């Protein structure tokens, strides 16, 4: 028997080459498609996480931005940036000035910075908004190295899976060759029909793709878990921020609004009144005997006296009115809207007519008469801006004090005793 020419190949070699070539082409194509799909899917997930992180920073730094607190803003920013492994994070105030910044751009290699900009072409930015007022914005950029490492692990998992698929394909290809050889031997000995048979399929190829799909779903599940963790962290920060915001705007002793809160309310009411018209009144109050009570009975009784005074003032006004403790024994009431001066005078008379205050001091009952000097300033008669109105109310209050206290005075009018 003559040997086949060296330029020819056997049927089994041709089958082997066809199977291996098809499997290799299929694996390479599938690997590339999965790699591209995974890259863009992971980047979309990471971009969504960056947006959530930026909003978390915005909620966390809202109170600090409101007071232009650089130190607190920097601490919050550095903590979150380190925890989330950000390449860069910046907080910019409303004036466009950088209030806080963290990042290692100056200490990182050029190739690392290039990876950051390739993975995240533009930084993620969100605005910091409080009471419909833009306080500034937050700008962050993700760490491309972390993303690249995460993506590299996914690629390695794909490559390992495809290699296993290749080994399985080679195994079953050779098994098919042996099966075909046995079938051809049978065909040679028996009949042509009996020698005909089909080569086995390649079920493991589908199984490998199912395995890769499972790994990809596991990766997405990890990202979803991370997103849920960030959402929970964001809610926790929101609660903490709400608590800080409340503390920043309220008096710790009386739980009334403080001076900053009162000024903010006054500014909003004045803006509305200047646009739509109407009246409002400021009642500026100062206790006539607080210093004497505080010196004689001590600070504990003095604090209780202030709390009782605040409660009495609150009972004398409407729920829609604003009561604040400006500091020490000074209180203020914002009456808005106001129908007439008579309404403000009736409120002042009601405050002055408050029953005696009863305070328990170590089981001993102390009774104090609430004597308050009140100054009333009416918008727009006494002024059209908050500074002018507060000064007018303050002067009217001192007019009441000079008249002996326990009375009210309207700006540019004579003091009036309470009923």
Residues classed as catalytic: 329
**Backbone angles phi and psi of 291, in degrees to 5:** -60, -40
By the 8 A CB rule, do 332 and 282 touch? yes
Strand 133-142 to strand 124-130: parallel, antiparallel, or no bridges (unpaired)? antiparallel
Contacts of 144 (CB under 8 A, 6+ apart): 87, 112, 115, 116, 117, 118, 119, 120
By the 8 A CB rule, do 123 and 144 touch? no
To 5 degrees, how large is the angle CA 106–CA 107–CA 112? Answer: 95
Kindly state the greatest CA–CA separation across the chain. 137
Contacts of 241 (CB under 8 A, 6+ apart): 59, 60, 62, 63
Closest CA relative to residue 336, chosen from 394, 398, 266: 266
Strand 407-410 to strand 416-417: parallel, antiparallel, or no bridges (unpaired)? antiparallel
Closest CA relative to residue 81, chosen from 127, 40, 152, 138: 138
Mapping DSSP to helix (H, G, I), strand (E, B) and coil, where does residue 10 land? Answer: coil
**Burial of 74 from C-beta contacts in 10 A (0-12 / 13-18 / 19+):** middle
- Residue 405 Ramachandran class (φ > 0 left, ψ -120 to 50 alpha, else beta): left
């Amino acid at each position: 028997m003559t040997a086949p020419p060296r330029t020819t190949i056997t049927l089994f070699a041709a089958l082997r080459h066809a199977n291996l070539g098809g499997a290799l082409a299929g694996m390479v194509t599938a690997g590339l498609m999965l790699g591209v799909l995974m890259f863009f899917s992971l980047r979309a997930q990471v971009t969504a996480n960056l947006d959530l992180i930026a909003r978390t920073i915005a909620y966390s730094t809202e109170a600090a931005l409101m007071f232009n607190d650089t130190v607190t803003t920097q601490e919050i920013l550095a903590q979150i940036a380190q925890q989330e492994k950000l390449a860069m994070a910046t907080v910019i105030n409303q004036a466009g000035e950088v209030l806080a910044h963290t990042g290692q751009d100056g200490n990182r290699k050029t190739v690392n910075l290039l990876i950051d900009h390739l993975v995240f072409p533009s930084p993620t930015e969100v605005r910091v908004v409080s009471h419909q007022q833009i306080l500034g914005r937050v700008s962050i950029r993700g760490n491309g190295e972390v993303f690249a490492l995460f993506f590299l692990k996914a690629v390695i998992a794909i490559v390992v899976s495809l290699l296993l698929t290749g080994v399985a394909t080679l195994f079953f290809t050779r098994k098919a060759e042996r099966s075909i050889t046995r079938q051809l031997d049978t065909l040679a000995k028996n009949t042509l029909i009996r020698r005909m048979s089909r080569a086995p399929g390649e079920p493991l190829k589908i199984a490998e793709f199912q395995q890769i799909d499972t790994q990809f779903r596991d990766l997405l599940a990890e990202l979803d878990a991370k997103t849920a963790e960030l959402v929970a962290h964001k809610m926790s920060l929101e609660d903490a921020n709400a608590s800080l915001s409340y503390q920043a705007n309220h008096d710790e002793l009386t739980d009334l609004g403080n001076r900053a809160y009162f000024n903010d309310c006054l500014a909003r009411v004045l803006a509305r009144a200047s646009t739509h018209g109407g009246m409002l009144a400021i009642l500026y109050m100062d206790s006539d005997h607080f210093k004497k009570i505080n010196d004689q009975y001590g600070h504990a009784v003095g604090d209780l006296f202030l709390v009782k005074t605040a409660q009495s003032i609150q009972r004398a006004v409407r729920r829609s009115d604003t009561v604040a403790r400006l500091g020490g024994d000074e209180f203020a009431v914002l009456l808005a809207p106001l129908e007439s001066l008579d309404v403000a005078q009736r409120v002042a008379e009601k405050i002055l007519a408050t029953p005696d205050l009863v305070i328990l001091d170590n089981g001993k009952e102390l009774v104090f008469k609430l004597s308050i000097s009140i100054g009333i300033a009416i918008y727009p008669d006494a002024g059209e801006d908050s500074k002018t109105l507060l000064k007018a109310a303050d002067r009217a209050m001192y007019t009441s004090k000079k008249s002996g206290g326990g009375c009210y005075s309207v700006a540019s009018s004579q003091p009036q005793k309470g009923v």
